[in-house]
Amino acid sequence: MKTNSFKILVAATVLLCWVRAHANFTNTFDSALPPEWVNGCQWSPGPADWPIGGSLQANATNGGWVLGDPSPKCIFNETQRADIRSMINAGGGHVRFSILVDGASFNASAQWWHINVVGNSAVGWTQINEVVNSWQNAGDRVLRIYTFKTNFAGLGWTDANSTYFEMNIGSNSDPANPIHYWIDNLAVYSDAPAVTPLVITAQSYNPTTREMTLTWTSEVAATYAILHSANVTVTMTPVATGIASGGAQTTTTVVLPAGNTGFVRIQKE
Ligand SMILES: [Ca+2]
């Protein structure tokens, strides 16, 4: 007796499948100095008027050019290094943090002061001078907040194979005037668009009507096509195109061509 079986295989395809997911990370220094931060810094409850708590504080006892071992240095740990590599691959990598000073950052003298930032990696030492170039009036107690932001290239973080990533933050001032600034709200992030993996979450097939209903994870505002072929050796042809995203998930029903076997693919257009 001849049996009439029908086999359908389904597959999901994303056109951007080589784009790797990337992970951002932050540090708000709320309760302790993270172990990756070494040299010339300590945990601090933060400036008196800083409403969001603990910070990292530079604690060099001398002024002058302070950059490198006497100044705050972050040797990003392996988890963070993996995240930075993923962001280099994804593109759009940035580093942002706040630099804070108030009266407790300075001695009683009126004085000039600068902040400099350096990235280090396999690419080498990459320095950005005078991200702050400011003046402190004698006796000024006011909290001031400066936001530093650069893309990864600004720190030389362009080699996704680098085995290390470091950042140094340093000050420059008169040698008699150490600068006890704070650092807070470090964010290392990529603004590259996130890629939603296309995963089929439900499927059903009615061999009488040849209707196949598929549900998959989708991206808002994307459109999708359903392709079909009788076997994998021939080019798949669309059975439906321009299927509007239903949001985080999309469900659609298509009528498949007649045949005892077939392959179906969902493709982001
Ligand atoms: Ca904080």
Amino acid found at 20: R
Tell me: pLDDT of 247 over 50.
yes
State the distance from the centre of ligand 1 to the C-alpha of 50, rounded, in angstroms: 8
By the 8 A CB rule, do 187 and 84 touch?
A: no
The mean per-residue pLDDT over the stretch 46-67 comes to 95
Specify the DSSP class assigned to residue 183: E
Tell me, which fold does domain 25-190 have in CATH? Jelly Rolls (2.60.120)
pLDDT at site 9: 65
Tell me: pLDDT of 177 over 70.
yes
Q: How do residues 16-45 score in pLDDT, each as one tens digit? A: 333 445 789 999 999 999 999 999 999 999
Q: How far is the C-alpha of 201 from the C-alpha of 217, rounded, in Å?
A: 7
Look at 231 and 80; give whichever has higher pLDDT: 80
Collapse the DSSP code of 89 into the 3-class scheme (helix H, G, I; strand E, B; otherwise coil) and give the result: helix
Q: How do residues 188-238 score in pLDDT, each as one tens digit? A: 999 987 677 788 999 999 989 999 999 999 888 889 999 999 887 888 999
Look at 163 and 5; give whichever has higher pLDDT: 163
Q: How far is CA 232 from CA 224, 227, 236, 239, in A?
A: 20, 12, 8, 16
State the distance from the centre of ligand 1 to the C-alpha of 74, rounded, in angstroms: 16
Identify which of 193, 249, 199, 221 has the alpha carbon closest to the alpha carbon of residue 22: 193
State the distance from the centre of ligand 1 to the C-alpha of 29, rounded, in angstroms: 5
pLDDT at site 1: 43
The mean per-residue pLDDT over the stretch 110-123 comes to 98
Tell me, which fold does domain 7-18+195-268 have in CATH? Immunoglobulin-like (2.60.40)
pLDDT category at 14 given cuts 50, 70, 90 is very low
Question: Where in the chain is CATH 2.60.40?
Answer: 7-18+195-268
pLDDT at site 216: 93
pLDDT at site 20: 45
Six token digits for residue 9: 């295989």
Question: Where in the chain is CATH 2.60.120.260?
Answer: 25-190
Q: How do residues 142-152 score in pLDDT, each as one tens digit? A: 999 999 999 99
pLDDT at site 3: 42
State the distance from the centre of ligand 1 to the C-alpha of 95, rounded, in angstroms: 16
State the distance from the centre of ligand 1 to the C-alpha of 237, rounded, in angstroms: 55
Tell me: pLDDT of 138 over 50.
yes
